[in-house]
């Protein structure tokens, strides 16, 4: 089967750096996506990695290691508005839909 694992909760301090990990198990691999969801809001697309390495978009970066079936989302210079749930997702074998991790709740303390 296909599955993703990510920590249920991560706590960090405002201004710091935090890393949210995601390990996946799939029969085929096409890429790893990250989404952010604030409480009561809709998920919003953050990033997509198809190849190994680090992709940087402003304060957020996403990393992928296909050999380790592992990726992470790195958030720098944390702001209170970054408090949200973060989901990793990979496509099903059919490549038409995403399988979603259970989400990591990021708690930021002042």
Partner 1 sequence: DSGVTQTPKHLITATGQRVTLRCSPRSGDLSVYWYQQSLDQGLQFLIQYYNGEERAKGNILERFSAQQFPDLHSELNLSSLELGDSALYFCASSVGRRTEPYEQYFGPGTRLTVT
Interacting span for partner 1 (CB under 8 A) from 10-18, 55-63, 65-73, 91-99? 91-99
Region of 83 (left: φ > 0; alpha: ψ -120 to 50; beta: rest) is beta
Q: Could you give the angle at the alpha carbon of 26 between the alpha carbons of 63 and 92, nearest 5°?
A: 100
Region of 77 (left: φ > 0; alpha: ψ -120 to 50; beta: rest) is left
- Residue 51 lies near partner 1 (rule: CB under 8 A): no
The most distant pair of C-alpha atoms in the chain lies apart, rounded to whole Å, by 44
Smallest distance from partner 1 to CB 24, Å: 13
| Alpha-helical segments (H) within 3-62 | none
Smallest distance from partner 1 to CB 43, Å: 5
- Residue 44 lies near partner 1 (rule: CB under 8 A): yes
- Residue 48 lies near partner 1 (rule: CB under 8 A): yes
- Residue 70 lies near partner 1 (rule: CB under 8 A): no
Binding residues for partner 1, rule CB under 8 A, total 24
Task: List residues near partner 1 by CB under 8 A.
Answer: 30-31, 33, 41-45, 48, 50, 87, 89, 91-92, 94-103
């Amino acid at each position: 089967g296909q599955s993703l694992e990510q920590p249920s909760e991560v706590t960090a301090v405002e201004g710091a750096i935090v890393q949210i990990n995601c390990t996946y198990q799939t029969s085929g691999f096409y890429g790893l996506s990250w989404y952010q969801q604030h409480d009561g809001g809709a998920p919003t697309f953050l990033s997509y990695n198809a190849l190994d390495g680090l992709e940087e978009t402003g304060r957020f970066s996403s990393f992928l290691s296909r050999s380790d079936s592992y990726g992470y989302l790195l958030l720098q210079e944390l702001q209170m508005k970054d408090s949200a749930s973060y989901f990793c997702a990979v496509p099903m074998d059919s490549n038409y839909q995403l399988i979603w991790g259970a989400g990591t709740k990021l708690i930021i303390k002042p």
